[in-house]
Amino acid sequence: MLVRAASRGIAAARSGAAPRFAAAAASTVPSRSAHKVALREALNMAMEEEMTRDKTVFLMGEEVAQYHGAYKVSKGLHDKFGPDRVIDTPITEMGFAGLGVGAAMNGCRPIIEFMTFNFSMQAIDHVINSAAKQLYMSAGDINVPIVFRGPNGVAAGVAAQHSQCFASWYSHCPGLKVVSPWNSEDAKGLLKAAIRDDNPVVMLENELMYGVEFEMSDEAMRDDFVIEIGKAKVEREGTDVTIVTFSRMVGVALEAAKELEAKGISAEVINLRTIRPLDRDAIDKSVRKTSRLITVEEGWPQSGVGAEIQAVITETGAFDFLDAPPERITGVDVPMPYAQNLEEAAVPKANHIVAAAERVCYRSR
């Protein structure tokens, strides 16, 4: 217990530091009048707006109230809504996840924050067996409108038990919806949609992105801005190769696309936004246009999101349009190393995507 508590203290302290893998980090929360908004603030906006709109919405988790969250995502919410709606919990994911599921079954819309999704393993029985299956097992009589959210994927310097991607884990399970934002608009729009959804939703954020600022449109700044769950977004149009990815890897894919453009290769980058249900139509349409496919994810290769996407294109018929074998870019198939040089070697980089694109376009030597 002491080791676990110490690790959480390290994670909380680290939230204010510049992440090794992030392109930029915000040291202060930007004002809402500015349209450049840090991802953590976009999440905060979503929760504040939905808690104001719907009195049944509340936030619960470790350090979310008086400490404003380990990564300051819930800053100010306790002051505005009070301890009945922004609730600090003991260190027991199984306990507060179960309380949240019970509250959801009885008319509330809880937001359950895991300090990291690695700790959601302590609560997975409630996420899968209590929340995901309840509507089916009650013959449609009992909804569980709950959001499980928190940082997922590669972190920095926290080793194997605190740095892994759970996208394929949770997207495997019927009854759940799984979303994963890349930028601030994704974060705000997807979280608001998740809170309003009558089904349990797992929202996989990324610790290294919390302080990164993104431009937000006038529309996204509005209280009624929502992104439809299940719809991907083409972040960059292209004609030669399709790159499908999500979360932090969208930025890495866009970086790779710029490098490829200089090499005469036009890459289309698809931001999935939703892992379950996948936007099969968007993937199919893009692959039929470019005739080449690369998937990118931080998670491990076996049974991964990329493997599912490549299966999807065979089922939709886009496989017949391929001019080269599809490629998967994933994290290395090992538990995350602690040493910085090994950690960086285990994580996908833009140069990996560039090399894959050159191979599928038959440009590599």
Please provide the average confidence, as pLDDT, over all residues in the chain: 91
pLDDT for the residue numbered 35: 86
Write the pLDDT tens digit of every residue in 158-208: 988 899 999 999 999 999 999 999 999 999 999 999 999 999 999 999 999
HEC string of the chain? CHHHHHHHHHHHHHCCCCCCCCCCCCCCCCCCCCCEEEHHHHHHHHHHHHHHHCCCEEEEECCCCCCCCCCCCCCCHHHHHCCCCEEECCCCHHHHHHHHHHHHHCCCEEEEECCCHHHHHHHHHHHHHHHHCHHHHCCCCCCCCCEEEEECECCCCCCHHHCECCHHHHHCCCCCEEECCCCHHHHHHHHHHHHHCCCCEEEEECHHHCCCEEECCCCCCCCCCCCCCCCCEEEECCCCEEEEECCCHHHHHHHHHHHHHHCCCCEEEEECCEEECCCHHHHHHHHHHHCCEEEECCCCCCCCHHHHHHHHHHHHCHHHHCCCCCEEECCCCCCCCCCHHHHHHCCCCHHHHHHHHHHHCCCCC
Catalytic residue among 62, 113, 162, 185, which?
162
pLDDT for the residue numbered 25: 34
Which fold does the domain 233-360 belong to in CATH? Rossmann fold (3.40.50)
pLDDT for the residue numbered 157: 86
Q: Is the pLDDT of residue 23 over 50?
A: no
Out of 73-82, 155-164, 230-239, least confident range? 155-164
pLDDT for the residue numbered 233: 98
Kindly indicate the confidence band of residue 28, based on its pLDDT and cuts at 50, 70 and 90. Answer: very low
Would you list the domain boundaries of the chain? 2-215, 233-360
Asked whether the domain spanning 233-360 has the same topology as the one spanning 2-215, the reply is yes
172 labelled catalytic: no
Instruction: Express as a percent the part of the chain with pLDDT over 70.
Output: 90
Catalytic residue among 50, 63, 93, 297, which?
93
Q: Is the pLDDT of residue 18 over 70?
A: no
Write the pLDDT tens digit of every residue in 301-319: 999 999 999 999 999 999 9
93 labelled catalytic: yes
The CATH number that domain 2-215 falls under is 3.40.50.970
Q: Is the pLDDT of residue 12 over 80?
A: no
